[in-house]
Chains A and B, each alone.
Chain A
Amino acid sequence: MKNSNKLIIYGQEFSSRLLIGSALYPSLDVMKAAIVKSESEIVTVSLRRQNPENNGGNIFWQELQSLGLTLLPNTAGCHSMKEVVNLAKMSRELFQTDWIKLELIGDEYNLQPDPMNLVAAADILLKDGFKVLPYCTDDLVICRRLADCGCEVIMPWGSPIGTGQGLANPQALSAIRHRLPDTTLIIDAGLGLPSHAVHAFELGYDAILLNSAIAQATDPITMASAFSYACKAGRAGYLAGRMPERQVAQPSTPIMGMPFWHQD
């Protein structure tokens, strides 16, 4: 799977390796243009209480539908297994998809996923027929438990949501890639720069999921394009295979035939 030309999510193939969020854009027009420019095929959405006085959020929904992309509903803001399971069921009915981006927050300060309940919630949802894409920390054992219970996609964070700090713990992320070679791994959250995306792919990750890095850029549309290029560059670089790393310098120009040199 990791050398496939396509991103595979629960058996479904995608050409783009960039999953994009639909929040925080300065306007709906910018959101649409940025999503198009990113070449993403999968966009994240959520559910919130409806206010009939603003037409129930219909304008956003109509604009998003017009893009014709695959929707990935999230359970953002959920703090308990009950909330997660019921919001997932509401999403499945409304969005007509069994995909769910499982977010179960364990701490408000850094929005860290709850590692203990995350695996149990994933197990419940998988058994109920959901295709679960869990957002988790970079803890190898948690990722292994998620894979063991049937998650075909796992999404460890690069760094906390909305920080834009990039990959805080590349060694841990590498270990996850090494130990779960057949799982689709997506870096979700914490990326801020196209170079962070390249880094994720260079570690062997299959895709990235981001929102703020594009939506909160000075020019979201151009940044969407930059991330699209970064995903392609990083993936190509990974597949090409890096040169061996060395501790000491090694000249690239031949020594043999060097003028001015004489044996004493």
Chain B
Amino acid sequence: MRIMINNIEHLVDNSELVEIIKQYGAKAPFAVAINGEFVAKSNYATTQVQPDDLVDIVSPIFGG
């Protein structure tokens, strides 16, 4: 299945969000959104990603 993670195309076998995060190698701390909608950490295990979904995984960065 083709999805976009942080605006880069990825091919994934598993549709479970928790597995996709693991496969991406996300480093804590991070937060996640799918198609622009926040996904709470408590929902990672039950969230399924669909083909062509846009997944954002974000981390702290400096800001003004």
Residues of A within 8 A of B27 (CB): 50, 52, 55-56, 58
B31 lies within 8 A of A74 (CB):
no
| CA of A48 to CA of B25, assembled, Å | 16
6 contacts between A and B (CB under 8 A): A49-B7, A50-B57, A50-B59, A51-B6, A83-B36, A89-B40
Residues of B within 8 A of A73 (CB): 63
A86 lies within 8 A of B37 (CB):
yes
**Given contact pairs A83-B36, A94-B29, A52 touches B58 in the complex (Cβ within 8 A):** no
How many residue pairs, one in A and one in B, have C-beta atoms under 8 Å apart?
101
B38 lies within 8 A of A89 (CB):
yes
**Given contact pairs A90-B31, A93-B31, A93-B41, A60 touches B61 in the complex (Cβ within 8 A):** yes
Residues of A within 8 A of B59 (CB): 47-50, 56-58, 61, 94
Closest B-chain residue to A86, C-beta based? B38
What is the interface of chain A, defined by CB distance below 8 A to chain B? Answer: 21-25, 31, 44-52, 55-58, 60-61, 64, 73-74, 76, 82-83, 86, 89-91, 93-95, 161, 211-212
**Given contact pairs A74-B64, A212-B64, A47 touches B31 in the complex (Cβ within 8 A):** yes
In the complex, which of the residues B6, B26, B58, B60 has the most CB atoms of chain A within 10 Å of its own CB atom?
B60
B61 lies within 8 A of A52 (CB):
no
Residues of B within 8 A of A76 (CB): 63-64
**Given contact pairs A50-B26, A56-B27, A58-B27, A90 touches B33 in the complex (Cβ within 8 A):** yes
| CA of A209 to CA of B27, assembled, Å | 30
What is the interface of chain B, defined by CB distance below 8 A to chain A? Answer: 6-7, 24-33, 36-38, 40-41, 56-64
Minimum CB–CB distance from A187 to chain B (whole Å) comes to 14
B58 lies within 8 A of A90 (CB):
yes
| CA of A212 to CA of B32, assembled, Å | 29
Residues of A within 8 A of B56 (CB): 49
Closest A-chain residue to B40, C-beta based? A93
Minimum CB–CB distance from A216 to chain B (whole Å) comes to 11
| CA of A49 to CA of B24, assembled, Å | 12
Residues of A within 8 A of B32 (CB): 90
| CA of A161 to CA of B29, assembled, Å | 28
